[in-house]
A and B are shown apart, each in its own frame.
Chain A
């Protein structure tokens, strides 16, 4: 089963970056970033996977060419038995 709640294009940020990034920081361009994946078990044919993303943190740092804004999004994947399958912590970086 594949059910994906699409975000209409007109509700995405102007550059088409993910909707999670559409938070009010005074910077537009998305650069670099980081990901950390933990895999707890293999996904098997027929599994129903639920994906839940949470905005965990927003903070800023002074970069070489101006202020950088960091957006941390945690995404949890669980199966039909509510067992964790995987988790990603993604850090997006925005700059002016």
Chain B
């Protein structure tokens, strides 16, 4: 996290984004529901989740998005801003299982108005099945070292 300062000129589409593995437990999923005022029962009741055909309590879509945001902000540190994040959940993420977040730079845009990176992001489960995929846009502004 900011150990190696990210510099615009050193970045290319082959630059590696360090992956992030998280394992949201019951407490984290419960607390995320509480802080986001989310009372959907599949996020706190295993019985309710099973009644909806799910194997266990499900990790919130927004919490998965937070992990994807963390993947990017861990990497960019204070050197740039995460300005856009879009993701789609394609498979239920279950409580107590590892989630591996990965990113890849797809495009480096360098115009007079803006220096930005478009990155593909994914979250996979412990069986390496895709849970979510999306896109993150990182902008380097005048406040950041763009030289």
Whether the pair A38, B84 counts as a contact (CB closer than 8 A) is: yes
- A17-B39, A33-B89 provided; 7 other pairs, C-beta below 8 A? A4-B37, A15-B48, A17-B40, A35-B87, A37-B86, A38-B83, A39-B81
Interface status of B17 (Cβ within 8 A of chain A):
no
Interface status of B118 (Cβ within 8 A of chain A):
no
Q: How long is the Cα–Cα vector from A38 to B135 in the complex, in angstroms?
A: 12
Contact partner, B86, options A9, A16, A18, A34, Cβ 8 Å: A34
Whether the pair B65, A37 counts as a contact (CB closer than 8 A) is: yes
Smallest CB–CB gap between B20 and chain A, Å? 18
List the B side residues contacting A17 at CB < 8 Å: 39-40
List the A side residues contacting B87 at CB < 8 Å: 34-36
Interface status of B46 (Cβ within 8 A of chain A):
no
What's the tally of chain A residues with a CB closer than 8 Å to chain B?
Answer: 20
Interface status of B97 (Cβ within 8 A of chain A):
no
Chain A residue at minimum C-beta to C-beta distance from B131: A32
Q: How long is the Cα–Cα vector from A12 to B53 in the complex, in angstroms?
A: 21
Chain B residue at minimum C-beta to C-beta distance from A42: B81
Interface status of B38 (Cβ within 8 A of chain A):
yes
Whether the pair B41, A35 counts as a contact (CB closer than 8 A) is: no
Q: How long is the Cα–Cα vector from A6 to B39 in the complex, in angstroms?
A: 12
List the B side residues contacting A31 at CB < 8 Å: 92
Contact with A along B87-99 (1 / 0, CB 8 A): 1111110000000
Interface status of B26 (Cβ within 8 A of chain A):
no
Whether the pair B41, A16 counts as a contact (CB closer than 8 A) is: yes
Contact partner, A34, options B53, B81, B89, Cβ 8 Å: B89
Most buried by A among B38, B40, B90, B134: B40
With contacts A15-B48, A29-B52 taken as known, whether A35 is within 8 angstroms of B86 at the C-beta atoms is: yes
